[in-house]
Structure 1
């Protein structure tokens, strides 16, 4: 089943809400009119009872009492729809108007309990399909005779008015609900025009137009956060797309060099017959290129795991000072060859994966040694404070321009795009360091000046 559009939903809700409001209003209006009619009827009945009471009070003798029915007829002339019945103390019907019939319960209750038979005892009943509203009261003559007087009004005209009023109100509610639905549809469609404009803009975007942004001015207040959030998402997508394009280009460039070398070496080897030693030398050279490509592929797979949250560090106590000294032993020969000294101070212990942290430290040290001039020293400093362990890797060298610092941890990023990385790895080392640090809940930053370049790694100690 096709879901309703937002415009149709809002229009339907408007119609339902309007109908509920009108129904409640109509209910209270009908109650108010009914109460008004009831109050008018009570007032008229009270007046007639008072008139009849005065006639009974003036009947001081038998002659006056005998003339009382004629006086009642004269007093009730012209009051159509008014019925009166008088019952004496013996229960005999003493006086009645034509067509007057009262419920037996009304008369019995009044005779049985005269003190409770007051004007407040208003009742409603039907006779021959016509509704009546009436009451009964006890009257006494000056001689002490007790009579029960019942009086009622034919309220058929009230009932007819209320029925017609309910029909009109029902029709008015239906028409108002329909009008509200139509007007709600028009107003909602007009109100949602900015949203349709945003939708049209978004629908026209593609990978080639990620630099476009949604306009935030002129939008309703409710849509401005949506436009701002979407623009921020576009900025992230644009940045990710650019980096992905650059990443693909760098992969092609990095793989092209070893593949070209292998092809050249193979072509040279096949161009003429050679001795065993020459073939061995060519194979060793090819092996170096294979190892370089294997390292690159391994690093790329490692970063892919990091991107998908698949790096799950094993939690163990790692002594960073011991790991640093072990790496110094590993890099000692290469550092001596380049004339670079290695120094380490401080101590720190963190929970984490020892092999992963060792790899991060190894990449930082290799990067520092590679960019340190002969006769200089690479220094590693360890410290613990405030529940965090800090690792500083300092190396003297040429300052890195400030605009390049935020991108040093990007894959294949080069400070100098024209520079080739012959023998210097594929440019994924610092990206791997950042992924390892992130997996351990830490952070990494870099600063550079004419005196030194410093990498600062912060890891939680779990304390």
Structure 2
């Protein structure tokens, strides 16, 4: 039973300020949430504003292109109209004169007019430093039968380019300044938002075994943090309960082992105080052996409970009959039952995979407990009942009722219903605790009831998954 047990671990109490420093050091070692969130705010602001500004620039540039296309179309229609008005001018002088007049007031427009390979008119760009965009060549048919004319317009888009350049620099400045402002305000908001967590760290550091009953009030915290606070308070509850159980367990162990060890030491000292015959020494050794076996039984039971508390799962065999297991245990208790005039009635049955040795041990403990408190000559009922949550094995005896406040404690270690420990030489209060451990190892539960003079103690076995 002792194999596989982990060695005892020393528990060192850490003061609150030490825990707070440890938490701070750990946070610094793994990175700051506040710094990470601030960086993400800055990156999000930079990317978001950049995308918005790029979209603004693209829409503006597209709008200028639409305006330029519209200007090309409008100017092209005007020039075509001039050409139509001059269709009867064989020398084209009138057309050239009209075009000169037109372009004298439209320095931002340039024209190349061809008829076949001949350049009829060409207006040199008035702005040599401009930025010109030329439209594709267009043909203008002539109704008089002359060859069609090809015209090509150019527009100076220098002003549009300047506006786009200023817009680009403005947008870049807006991205930089906006990102800086959003990053700064985001860092401040994150710092402010992290204050409850820092307060929670301080309150957490101020709790622990040295402050029993102290809990963290979840009311001041946001709804996202409240579940964490509730879980932490629940952990504190379990930790305090574990400390209390540990203290109680240590006290009970010391009490249970002190008596047999004191008896053993006293007996040996008495026997060594004066010469003894062989028979007397033999009786003394038998008594010492009995006390040593009692200590050994307590230690073995404690090791078994420790193993069960670590979450050990029972090794299940092929399905067996639970009624057969009960009858096997009854054969072992037959002599004890006859001495007390008790009868046992078994009802129900079920087949399920179990650790037969453990289940028989639990049944033996329940029958011993029932025989101990049953009215002499009465009947002990063993019922095997299949329910949705598992198969329940119930052992009921008629006798003195058990107080309601005592029932929840029956499965605790070293608990005895009687105040006195006059029978502690035979019963050391671990029988029902072992039953509860075996039930847990089979995925089951335990239950105890006492009504109308009938006390029923039961445990369940969960179906195999």
State the TM-score, normalizing by the size of structure 2.
Answer: 0.86
1:98 lines up with 2:163 in the alignment: no
1:183 aligned to which of 185, 190, 195: 185
Partner-residue secondary structure (3-state), 2:447: strand
What residue number does 1:82 align with?
Answer: 109
What residue number does 1:134 align with?
Answer: 135
1:70 lines up with 2:70 in the alignment: no
- Does the 8 Å CA contact 1:138/1:147 hold for their aligned counterparts? yes
What residue number does 1:5 align with?
Answer: 32
What do residues 26-82 of structure 1 show as CA deviations (whole Å, max 9, x unaligned)? 122112211221222223222222221121111143367212112111111132332
Inter-CA distance 210–93: structure 2 relative to 1 (3 Å threshold): farther
Which moves more between the two structures, 279-288 or 76-85?
76-85
Partner-residue secondary structure (3-state), 1:44: helix
Which moves more between the two structures, 181-190 or 139-148?
139-148
Which moves more between the two structures, 361-370 or 78-87?
78-87
- Does the 8 Å CA contact 1:340/1:378 hold for their aligned counterparts? no
- Does the 8 Å CA contact 1:328/1:342 hold for their aligned counterparts? no
Cα distance in 2 between the residues matched to 1:277 and 1:131:
131
Counterpart mapping for 1:91-240 below 5 A? 91-99=117-125, 130-145=131-146, 146-240=148-242
Q: How far 1:423 moved relative to its partner?
A: 2.4
2:415 aligned to which of 405, 413, 416: 413
Which protein shows a greater Rg?
A: 1
Inter-CA distance 340–215: structure 2 relative to 1 (3 Å threshold): farther
What residue number does 1:459 align with?
Answer: 461
The runs of 5 or more residues in structure 1 that have no matched partner are 102-126
Cα distance in 2 between the residues matched to 1:98 and 1:438:
100
Inter-CA distance 362–136: structure 2 relative to 1 (3 Å threshold): same
Cα distance in 2 between the residues matched to 1:375 and 1:140:
131
- Does the 8 Å CA contact 1:313/1:356 hold for their aligned counterparts? no
Q: How far 1:340 moved relative to its partner?
A: 4.3
Counterpart mapping for 1:52-67 below 5 A? 52-62=79-89, 65-67=92-94
1:345 lines up with 2:342 in the alignment: no
1:46 lines up with 2:48 in the alignment: no
What residue number does 2:372 align with?
Answer: 370
1:282 aligned to which of 281, 284, 287: 284
What do residues 166-186 of structure 1 show as CA deviations (whole Å, max 9, x unaligned)? 122122212222222221111
What do residues 135-173 of structure 1 show as CA deviations (whole Å, max 9, x unaligned)? 432234453332111111111222232123212212221
Cα distance in 2 between the residues matched to 1:2 and 1:156:
57
Inter-CA distance 351–158: structure 2 relative to 1 (3 Å threshold): same
Which moves more between the two structures, 77-86 or 412-421?
412-421
Cα distance in 1 between the residues matched to 2:31 and 2:416:
54
Inter-CA distance 57–316: structure 2 relative to 1 (3 Å threshold): closer
Q: How far 1:461 moved relative to its partner?
A: 6.5
- Does the 8 Å CA contact 2:130/2:156 hold for their aligned counterparts? no
Cα distance in 1 between the residues matched to 2:59 and 2:190:
36
Partner-residue secondary structure (3-state), 1:343: strand
What residue number does 1:304 align with?
Answer: 306
What residue number does 2:324 align with?
Answer: 322
**RMSD of aligned C-alpha atoms?**
2.6
Cα distance in 2 between the residues matched to 1:61 and 1:392:
123
Partner-residue secondary structure (3-state), 2:223: coil
Cα distance in 2 between the residues matched to 1:432 and 1:154:
98
Cα distance in 2 between the residues matched to 1:385 and 1:201:
46
- Does the 8 Å CA contact 1:15/1:181 hold for their aligned counterparts? yes
Partner-residue secondary structure (3-state), 2:457: strand
